[in-house]
Amino acid sequence: MWLADGATGPTWNVIADIQQLWSFPFMVNAFRAGTIIAVASAVMGWFMVLRRQTFAGHTLALVGFPGAAGATLIGVSATYGYFAFCVGAALVIAAIPRAGEGSYGHESAVTGTVQAFALACGFLFIALYKGFLNGVNALLFGTFLGITDTEVVVLLVVTVVVLVVLAVIGRPLLFVSIDPVVAEARGIPVRLVSTAFLILLGAAVAEASQITGTLLVFALLVMPAAAAQTLTARPVVSLALTVVIAVLVTWAGLSAAYYSVYPIGFFVSTLAFAVYLVAQLARGADRLRSGRARRVTAS
């Protein structure tokens, strides 16, 4: 069950393997799109993990599913459906006024309801669009097939815009993320910065959904960032590390998915989780060692 005629299993000759991978235009497009997506989602994911907005990111991703299913239903490229719905949902989440500390439970009930209802709408679109069963798995769990040149250009333009805007609001955003009260006192428009961040996050999530699928965006958004932030506390270093991890995981996932029947979402999420686990273990070992050293010097 190979994907294309002439494709065989991987050999030990890595150069030849890569040449063979890239002899197919769809694989070249997949690598281009994958790299663009990995960079965008790594950078946005880094800020998301820093701001502990994982639940919001997850909700944005799930809202992308009815967007993509609806786009398929009316016959447009799923890319536009993802962007329209994810950015729209980001605006809605930003518009909900943030109440006091005690109402966290209510707020998460609202978020939970929004995402469950969004998924139900996606399911309705699928039920209306009959004979779409394999498409469902692709939307939910990712695919790297059939990415067109136009879609690569759209992804590139969106990523450049996202990164430029992020570069502009990067410093105040970092300030707001780390200490919102002091930032507000220093005259930084906290609400505006937070809203802008959510919109950028919506765009990044919409991008990531196209490689990993709606359900597995965390593989590119959360895990590389979580692993990098575990390893180092210095912002610039961990940001760079996040991008490197995300790109490598995406490339490895694409290659593995090419040679097997299993969907790319499985490979990307498993590889990213392995990196995260190794990072956690490394920190654990490091702590153990420094703890013992401290005890030795103390005694």
Task: Point out which residues bind another protein (CB under 8 A).
Answer: 1, 49, 52, 54-55, 58, 62, 104-106, 108-113, 115-117, 119-121, 123-124, 126-128, 133-134, 136-137, 140-141, 215-219, 222-223, 226, 261-263, 265-270, 272-273, 276
Q: Judged by CB, which is closer to another protein: 62, or 176?
A: 62
Q: Judged by CB, which is closer to another protein: 49, or 176?
A: 49
Q: Judged by CB, which is closer to another protein: 91, or 116?
A: 116
Q: Judged by CB, which is closer to another protein: 188, or 211?
A: 211
Give me the least distance between CB of 51 and another protein, in Å please.
11
Q: Which residues contact 223 (CB under 8 A, 6 or more apart)?
A: 249, 269, 272, 273, 275, 276
Give me the least distance between CB of 133 and another protein, in Å please.
5
Q: Judged by CB, which is closer to another protein: 119, or 152?
A: 119
Give me the least distance between CB of 88 and another protein, in Å please.
17
Give me the least distance between CB of 98 and another protein, in Å please.
15
Using alpha carbons, select from 147, 158, 175, 215 the residue that is nearest to residue 39: 158
Nearest-angstrom CA–CA distance, 268 and 284: 24
Q: Please spell the DSSP secondary structure of 166-194, one letter per residue.
A: HHHHHHHHHHHHH-HHHHHHTT--HHHHH
Give me the least distance between CB of 118 and another protein, in Å please.
10
Q: Amino acid identity of 123? A: F
Nearest-angstrom CA–CA distance, 190 and 201: 16
Nearest-angstrom CA–CA distance, 67 and 122: 7
Asked if residue 39 lies in contact with residue 251, where contact means CB atoms within 8 angstroms, the answer is no
